Amino acid sequence: MASKLVFSPSEDEILIQEVQANSILYDLADANYKNIIMKDSIWTEISLKIGKSVDDTKKRWKNIRDSYSRNKRKPGTGSAATKKKWNLAPHLGFLDRVEYERA
């Protein structure tokens, strides 16, 4: 059984800030988006700042990005469908300005 990723809210915020500062990690239009060596180097730097493994850091970013995407798409239905605010959503607005999902 895989262990659960445990990132504190401050680690999540650092991760988001670091990814935002490195568009190569999320922007398909970035000239270096496919440069695996460069991306691996950046992921290593980010994981060292957070104090987690590179794999855990990448998995957590994927989880955050996917949750943001789902949260944005999910329409509310019925009168009881009040949308719960996700505390990381305000930090991820930079993803709205780029194409980060393959069609």
* Distance separating alpha carbons of residues 59 and 2, to the nearest angstrom: 12
| Upper half-sphere CA count for residue 76 (Cβ side, 13 Å) | 8
In a domain, 18, yes or no: yes
Residue 79 lies in a domain: no
Both tokens of 4, joined, read 């659960």
**Domain residue limits at 51:** 10-65+92-103
Residue 70 lies in a domain: no
Q: Whole-prediction pTM value?
A: 0.82
**pLDDT over threshold 50, residue 1:** no
Q: Is the pLDDT of residue 56 over 90?
A: yes
Give domain status of residue 71, yes or no: no
Number of structural domains found in the chain: 1
Q: For residue 50, is it within any domain?
A: yes
CA diameter of the chain: 50
Q: Is residue 60 part of a domain?
A: yes
**Segment 5-49, tens digit of pLDDT:** 789 999 999 999 999 999 999 999 999 999 999 999 999 999 999
